[in-house]
Structure 1
Amino acid sequence: MTAVHPPPAPGRELSNPPMDGISNLRFSNHSDHLLVSSWDKTVRLYDASANSLRGEFMHGGPVLDCCFHDDSSGFSASADNTVRRIVFSYGKEDILGRHDAPVRCIEYSYAAGQVITGSWDKTLKCWDPRGASGQERTLVGTYPQPERVYSLSLVGNRLVVATAGRHVNVYDLRNMSQPEQRRESSLKYQTRCVRCYPNGTGYALSSVEGRVAMEFFDLSEASQAKKYAFKCHRKSEAGRDIVYPVNAIAFHPVYGTFATGGCDGFVNVWDGNNKKRLYQYSKYPTSIAALSFSRDGRLLAVASSYTFEEGDKPHEPDAIFVRSVNEIEVKPKPKVYPNPPA
C-alpha cells in the first residue's frame, strides 16, 4: 500500500490546547464543534471553524473519553470512576453515575437514547441520561466483560466492545442480556482502537503492533472470507522493523474510507475495500492520540499528543490540528480494468 501524492500541510493548530495528554476528540454530528478530553482533568469545547474555545469543564481526575449528546450537552468518562453529563450553555456538569474503576470509554446511542460506558472494572454500563441525577435512577443495566474495556464503537443498534486479552464482544442494543457474538481479535497483540464501518457491515480494529484488522459481522463463509489485516505505521531502519502502536481510527462519513493515527506521528488514509493507501499527511510533532472527521467529512481533527509509549521523556507540547480535507485525499479511486482482447 503506497502513497501516490506529496503530503499536504498538517492543518491549522487550535489555540488554547489542553495542558496534558489528549485522550480523545470528537466532532459534533450537528456542527463544527469539537469536544476534547484530556489528562489535565478537563473537557474542552471548541468551535473548530472559528478556532475558538467555547467552554472548559474541570473534573475530579483525568478525563479518558468524551462524546456529544447534541450541540447543547455532552458526556465524559473519567479516571475518578465517574460518568458525567456536561451542559455547555450553563457551564455546568453533574455526575450521571459511577464505575468501580476508571471509566475508559463512552458513547451516546441515538438509536437507544442511552449513554454506554466501558470501564477497567471489567463492566459495560448503560445509562438513561433523561432521568433525575443519581445512580439508581439512571442506570439501565450492567454487563460483565471478560477483561478491562479498552474501546467501544456504535453503528445503529450494534455495539462493539474491545477489551484487554484481545476479546471482542458484539451486542445488539435491543437485547443486551448477552453478546450477539463473542470473538477474539485476529491480531496477536493488545487492542488499541475499534471503529465500526459507517455502512454497518463490520469494524476495523487496531493493535499496539502496527496492524489493522478489517472484520465483518456476517458469519457466513463468503463474508468471513473478505476479512483481512494489514501492516501500517512501521518503518525499516538499519535492517530492522520499527513498529508503532496504531492509536486511532476514524471513518470518513461520506466515502467510508478511513484514517489511522500512530505513535510514529503519521496519519494515513486508507481505502479498505480496495486495500490501498490513499494518502499520508506530513508528520505531526508527536504521537497521534486521536482522530475525528467532521459530520460532512470536510474537516479532520488530529490530536498530536505523546502517549508515553516510550516512557516519561521530553516531548513536543500537546496540540490539536484541524485540516481541511481535499476530496482526492479520501475518495476511493475507481478500479481500472484492462481492455478486453480484440
Structure 2
Amino acid sequence: MLNQQPAPKDIEIASPPTDTVSDLCFSPTRLWEIQPTGASIPRAFIQHEAPPLTCAFTKDGTRLFATGSDGVGRLLDLQSQQTATMPNIHDAPIKCARFVEIQGGHFLATAGWDKMLKYWDLRQPSGTPTAQVQLPERAYTMDAVGPLLVVGTAERHLNIINLQNPGQIFKTIASPLKWQTRSVACFHDARGFAVGSIEGRVGIQYVDDKESGLNFSFKCHREGATPSQQSIYSVNSISFHPVYGTFSTAGADGGLNFWDKDSKQRLKQFSLVQGQITSTSFSRDGKIFACAVGYDWSKGHEYSNGLAKPGIFMLAPKDEDVKPRPPKPKTGR
C-alpha cells in the first residue's frame, strides 16, 4: 500500500478570497510577494460585480485577465494597476480563459456557457473577436499548450483545436470517461491531454491517432476497500509539471496525488485536507505548487455549511515526488 502523508502546507497565502476559489494560475514572472519569513503580501486585485470563474496571465506576466458570471472581461495591468473592461464578450458566463500563440502573435482565448470559443487581439480596442468557433455544448474546462488547445464541454465532448488553424475544430471526440467532464490539462509537450470526471476517473488521451495505443484511464479519488463501500469524488483539477511532464490530480475528497503517466505509477499520495481542493497550478519552473481549498458546490447550497474555510496554500514538492520513474518490472506467473 502506498504510504499516505499529510499534505504539506508550506505557506498559507495571506488574505485569500472569502469564498471558494474557482481557478488558480501562476504568473510567469510574479505572484503574491513571499518574504524570507514565509509571510505573503497580496499586491493587486480585480473587482468583479459577479462571481469570477477563471483567470489567466499574459505570457510576459505583465497583465492578468479575469472574467466569469457577468460575461465581462477585466484586464489588469500590473505595472500601472489600471483595469480595462471588456463588456459583453460572451452572451453567458465565461468559464475558461487562456493566452495562446497564433502565427507568432499572442491572443486571448475565451470559452463560455453560450457554446462559443472566441479569440481576442488585446491590441485592438474594438471589442470584436478576431475569430470564433461554435462549440457543441457549454464550455466547462479548457487548457492550451503550444499549438494544442482542448475544450471540454457538457455532454462529454472533447474539442481538440490545432492553433495553426484556430478557426475550426480539428477533432471532436467523446470523453473516454462515462460521466461529466470536470477538468482538462494538456501534456507539457502538447502531444495529448488528461481529462478528469465527476466520477473519480482520469483519462490519458493522445492527439495523434498513431499514438492511440497509449491511451488509458484509471480510477482515483475514491475511499473504501470494496466497490460497494466506496465513496467516489470528483477530480476537480489536473496540473502538469512544466519540466518533468508528470501531473497532479486533486479532488472533492481533499486528496492530492502526483502521477507519472508514462510508467503508469502514482508517485506520491497525500492524505485528506480539511475541505475540498478546487484548483491547482505549478509555477513556471515546477518548484512551487499552488492549491486552493474550499467547498466546490458539487452538492448544492444546502451543504455549504461554512466549515471548510477557503484558503490557498503554496507547497514545495520534493524532487522525488514529481520526477518520473522507470516502469515497474513485470512479474511472471
TM above 0.5: yes
Aligned-residue offset at 1:282: 3.6
Long gaps (5+) in structure 1: 34-45
8 A Cα contact 2:287 2:317, kept in partner? yes
Q: How many angstroms does 1:245 deviate by?
A: 0.3
For residues 336 and 275 of structure 1, do their structure 2 counterparts lie closer, same or farther at Cα, with a shift above 3 Å needed? closer
Question: Aligned letter for 1:300?
Answer: F
Q: What is the alpha-carbon distance in structure 2 between the residues aligned to residue 148 and residue 307 of structure 1?
A: 19
Instruction: Tell me the secondary structure at the aligned position of residue 169 of structure 2.
Output: coil
Residue 267 of structure 2, aligned match among 272, 278, 287: 278
Deviation at 1:167, TM superposition (A): 0.5
112, 116, 130: which one aligns with 2:109: 116
- Are residues 277 and 48 of structure 1, via their aligned partners in 2, closer, same or farther at CA, if it must alter by over 3 Å? farther
User: Which of 256, 267, 285 is residue 256 of structure 2 equivalent to?
Assistant: 267
Whether the 8 Å CA contact 2:263–2:326 is kept in 1: the answer is no
Residues 1:194 and 2:184 are matched in the alignment: yes
Runs of 4+ in 1 over 6 A off after TM superposition: none
Contact kept, 8 Å, 2:72 with 2:86, in 1: the verdict is: yes
Counterpart amino acid of 2:33?
D
Task: Find the counterpart in structure 1 of residue 315 from structure 2.
Answer: 323
2:79 matched to 1:89? Answer: yes
Is the contact made by 2:131 and 2:167 (CA closer than 8 Å) also made in structure 1? no
CA contact (8 A) 1:262 1:288 kept: yes
| TM-score, length basis structure 1 | 0.89
- Asked if 1 retains the 8 angstrom alpha-carbon contact of 2:24 and 2:290, the reply is yes
Map of 1:227 onto structure 2: 215
Q: Which runs of 5+ in 2 are unaligned?
A: none
- Change in Cα spacing, 1:237 to 1:226, as seen in structure 2 (3 Å) is closer
What's the CA shift for 1:187? 0.4
Counterpart contact for 2:255–2:270, Cα < 8 Å: yes
Question: Cα distance 1:74–1:332, how it changes in 2: closer, same or farther (>3 A)?
Answer: same
CA distance in 2 between counterparts of 1:101 and 1:171 reads 22
The one of 75, 78, 93 equivalent to 1:102 is 93
Give the aligned partner of residue 171 of structure 2.
181
Q: Cα gap change, 1:323/1:177 in structure 2, threshold over 3 Å: closer, same or farther? A: closer
| Structure 2: distance between partners of 1:48 and 1:180 | 42
What amino acid is aligned across from residue 232 of structure 1 in structure 2?
C
For 2:186, give the aligned amino acid. Answer: C
Which residue is 1:14 aligned to?
13
Higher strand content, 1 or 2:
1
Classify 1:91/1:192 alpha carbon distance in 2 versus 1 (closer, same or farther; 3 Å). Answer: same
Question: Identity of aligned pairs, percent?
Answer: 35
Distance 2:194 2:123 in 1: 32
1:47 corresponding residue in structure 2:
33
The number of equivalent residue pairs is 320
**Structure 1 residue 336: Cα displacement:** 6.0
- The amino acid across from 1:104 in the alignment is K
Task: Give 3-state SS (helix, strand or coil) of 1:224's partner.
Answer: helix
Greater shift in the superposed pair: 307-316 or 177-186: 307-316
- Compute the displacement of 1:87 (Å): 1.1
Alignment of 1:17-96 (within 5 A): 17-31=16-30, 33=31, 46-48=32-34, 51-69=40-58, 70-96=60-86
User: 1:231-246 maps to which residues of 2 (within 5 A)?
Assistant: 231-236=219-224, 239-246=228-235
Say which SS state the counterpart of residue 26 (structure 1) adopts: coil
Partners of 1:255 and 1:48 in 2: how far apart?
25
Tell me by how many angstroms 1:299 deviates.
0.6
Answer yes or no: is the 8 Å Cα contact 2:7–2:273 preserved in 1: no
The Cα of 1:71 is off from its aligned counterpart by 2.6
Distance, in Å, in 2 between the alignment partners of 1:177 and 1:301 is 33
2:283 to 294, 309, 319: 294
